[in-house]
Amino acid sequence: MSSHVELDGSHGEGGGQILRSALALSILTGRPFKIANIRANREQPGLRPQHVACVKAAGAICGGLYKGASVGSSVLNFEPGEVKAGTYAFGIGTAGATGLVLHTLYLPLALHGKEVSNLTITGGTHVPHSPSYHYNATTWSGHLSRIGIDIQLEMKRPGFYPRGGGEVSASVQPCLRVRGLNLTKCPDLTTAGGFAAVAGLPEGIARRLARRAAERLKREEIESHIPLEEWQGGPGAVVGVLFRQLTVPPLFVAIGERGQPAEAVADAAADEALKFRAAKAPVDAHSADQLVLPLAFSPDASEFRAAEISTHLTTNIETIRKFLDREITVEGDEGSPGVVRIAASGL
């Protein structure tokens, strides 16, 4: 395996995930990389502000060198340095997802940082097609805690598209050893929790969100309690459905968009939650692609059943293989439930 890694950013899922995983893997392995055709098939190809923020943040925590970190750039070269734990502040400058910057940085800081790191990230906290603050604080950090990675999150203020302005703080503890994961069984899911929240909008919208989500779950014989919340800032509306019967509760979030009825927003969250329930798997599709990266750095074998084998998951596995010689197999077809296995490293 050569030291320098070449990546095609249009391959597989073809989005920003290839870049984020490559940045983390580069820092952790000490291998520089070049990525071309970044997001080539997207409506706005090349790097967007949140991707540029990820590159600059990755460079900041390790003294890395990079070329091509500008909006619209389709090629990036990155050469990592040595990780330095500490206190960092990163601003995306738009409503770009704060969670995606965090996903880029946490593993290098946890595994190579010699002391706690405190991060402040400003931008979007609840952005469509990105992990929301509440998902990260509940499901993502819950899975990481189970494998030995301790991250504490706090939302100082929410940030919605297009205004942004949200702020999240994260405390990343050093991790001496990532534990393997064995998670293949799922109980019958008969109860649900969650929340319906508004920021800078009438409380009646939150009531409509909660009522519709509860109605949809009730039709499938799921009893639920979805409390209402009011946040400062905004404007924005969010609804989440949570299954607490699982060891790590999966949270399914839908975010309101201008002109969209509250009932349609609630339907989106309920649809995702019910699809997960039907799969009878303990790991949601988003967690599946997020888990393979830290588990690839565990000396232990891992096995988990995912509610969906997504293109994000298979693309992330292929990116990991570019940097690491680790046996990772997937049993199941894309779009269907399946099992992910990571062989013991022998370290």
Catalytic positions, written as ranges = 312
- Report whether the peptide linkage leading into residue 162 is cis, meaning its omega lies within 30 degrees of zero: yes
- 256 contacts 238 by C-beta, under 8 angstroms: yes
Backbone phi and psi for residue 266, each to the nearest 5 degrees, phi listed first? -60, -40
* Cα dihedral 261/264/268/273 (nearest 10): 110
Largest pairwise CA distance in the chain: 59
Give the integer Cα–Cα distance in Å for 36 and 21: 15
Count, in order, helices (H) and strands (E) of the chain.
9, 17
- Residue type at position 248: V
Handedness of CA 182, 186, 187, 190 (dihedral sign): positive
CA atoms within 13 A on the CB side of 338: 19
CB atoms within 10 A of CB 268: 19
Give the integer Cα–Cα distance in Å for 113 and 116: 7
Q: In 174-227, at which residue ranges do the beta strands (DSSP E only) sit? A: 182-183, 191-199, 223-224
